[in-house]
Structure 1
């Protein structure tokens, strides 16, 4: 019996090893937080997207527990059959009000939201204009839509305008991350909206890494930029700064109704457990009154940028909790991450295809649960490792 197919996979895995591209999954033995027990070791972790330190917040955990006691473990069906509960309605209304939109639709994950919303807005014969560094979920959503995909160089407004001007598509959709997950920089949202207005296009903003962190009271990147338009489709993620799970799309009421009627990942997926909505309501309370957490984050970002004086490696220009250190070579990035691990510091090495070739990096993620001493320890270790290599 031929084993050709299996042998091919083994060869492909060996190639990943040779290029230092195989990913390793680690198993946590403690709740999400900066002080982690993982694979039998106590580590100082700079890995998670738990930017406000809410994933293990006792009040949110207690709300989730109350939700299980009230609603049980699961929803039982898709939202449009019998898996939608009154607590889902409350959550969606609260989310919409929080980000200043008419209506919101709750999805089980951010990936589902993006792969559902894009094909609901555009299809064959239409055109999508996407920043080249957009998250994979936005790329996949564009491919699923079968619309013509135009990827412009990162944050290059002139290139985007040329593509828009040359398009004869009936419907146009501009798609961007707000905070780019591997670089930490923020998209020029006001300029993007101006282009959308000028070229009669939708503007979809994935605020996965801005919701809870940016804007007044953590209301997100659009609130920080002071933007409001029926053309805007806002995607917020609830498993990062919010500390729980899921995502939502928000915008004009008719737009959200259309998404509910046509977004296939929403229609054909079992509804999220209603208990999660209870936890998320408590999370929104903490985010709204969380200026202390955001102030702590700002302090930690400033400390890291002041302390991390590098010669060969590059600390990218970011004002967000995502602070990437570009090393370049895949193997060196992995080796530095391993050396940090040996010192009890957990920072992931990010390599292609997640980032462009030649830009392998350490992705440092800060949390309000870190201390200044934690950040100083990391900076000192990185300076020492750079000097030794």
Structure 2
């Protein structure tokens, strides 16, 4: 009874603050225009991706059957790793079951009690959890503050150091100064880990991510996911061959997890090939992001994410509901999911929508945002 009472108190507190969350399953025939999800290029339903996933399930079965180090590694995993590395300009890649596992693997295998982690204040929860699990000393620095990173590294002494950032931030949609951070890390002998979950497929030349623009940079580790622009599932860590060898032998989320299933592996591979052949896809995302940012009066992003502040958590929920009633689905981020405690509508550009559907969504959202900001 004590635990039941505590759970009831927790729910009541969330409801009073307007922070209670519920699951809302989608149906297969849902015709709402989706500007909440992360399928930025519209590839999850592309015929090539569907066919590849279905064929992989038919040939290999529904699951991989074991961890990568037992019998879970298939030729599909190897192909995806090789083509991800080539596409992003990295020497090697290691595929994992999720992007969350990719971040956990990279950080916990590289950092320990003798290490300093310098973490941007806005990094994803997976990097925060990874830093905690690593048992390293952690210094959180202000968002995108290169000078603060430089100071922290200068004061690290003889300790190894890892700097954590995202390329395109998942909530606010802003971009990290990746090149500057890479220079600072090189100067101090530190590693830079860049989470490209929201960069791969939309940021950088041809959607190769911002890390690709650094050229050869062995001190930079890239993590990514196949669940955003590639429309499938899975994660990856990319960097030097020595890094990948170390992860295979030391990263517990890789060693003890069942391998990514064949269908999403093949789906991600097909999607990656489409991105490589069709550079107009990320370009379309950029045009639509710029258009929507202009209409909503919000800063544009180098990726697909736009963030619109709302006056209160309840106001954000009301705006989200209004948009849904008008046939447009948007995200609603409230504390603790937002780094600055400001409730927001999170809206994502989608290359896969028709021009008519996109135009309708833009007009709907512009009207709703204008009303709610006037009321504030």
| TM category, shorter | over 0.9
Instruction: Find out whether 1:330 has 2:319 as its counterpart.
Output: no
State the match for 1:379 in structure 2.
366
For 1:179-190, what aligned pairs fall within 5 Å after superposition?
A: 179-190=168-179
Equivalent of 2:27 in 26, 29, 52: 29
Rounded to whole Å, the distance in 1 between the matches of 2:4 and 2:274 is 50
Which of 266, 284, 289 lines up with 1:296 in the alignment?
284
Q: Distance in 1 between matches of 2:340 and 2:66?
A: 43
> 1:97 is matched with which residue?
86
Shift of 1:169: 4.8
SS of equivalent to 1:74? coil
Match of 1:53 in 2: 42
Instruction: Please say if 1:113 is aligned against 2:102.
Output: yes
* Structure 1 gaps, min length 5: 31-35, 310-314
**Which structure shows the bigger proportion of residues in helix conformation?**
2
The answer for the alignment partner of 2:116 in structure 1 is 127
CA RMSD in angstroms, aligned pairs only: 1.6
Cα distance, 1:164 vs structure 2: 1.1
User: CA 1:198/1:282 → structure 2, altered by over 3 Å: closer, same or farther?
Assistant: same
Structure 1 residues 317, 91: CA separation in 2 closer, same or farther (over 3 Å shift)? closer
Q: 1:265 aligns with which of 240, 246, 253?
A: 253
Kindly state the Cα deviation for residue 335 of structure 1 after the two structures are TM-superposed: 2.0
Aligned residues: 372
Distance 1:344 1:91 in 2: 36
Instruction: Tell me the CA shift for residue 220 of structure 1.
Output: 1.1
TM-score relative to the length of structure 1: 0.92
Task: For structure 2, list consecutive stretches of 5 or more residues without a partner in the other structure.
Answer: none
For normalisation by structure 2, the TM-score amounts to 0.95
SS in 1 for 2:130: helix
**Which residue number corresponds to residue 346 of structure 2?**
363
Partner secondary structure for residue 100 of structure 2: helix
* Separation (CA, whole Å) in 2 of partners of 1:325 and 1:350: 10
CA offset at residue 346 of structure 1?
1.7
* Aligned counterparts of 1:28 and 1:384: Cα–Cα separation in 2: 28
Query: What SS is found at the alignment partner of 1:80?
Result: helix
Deviation at 1:388, TM superposition (A): 5.5
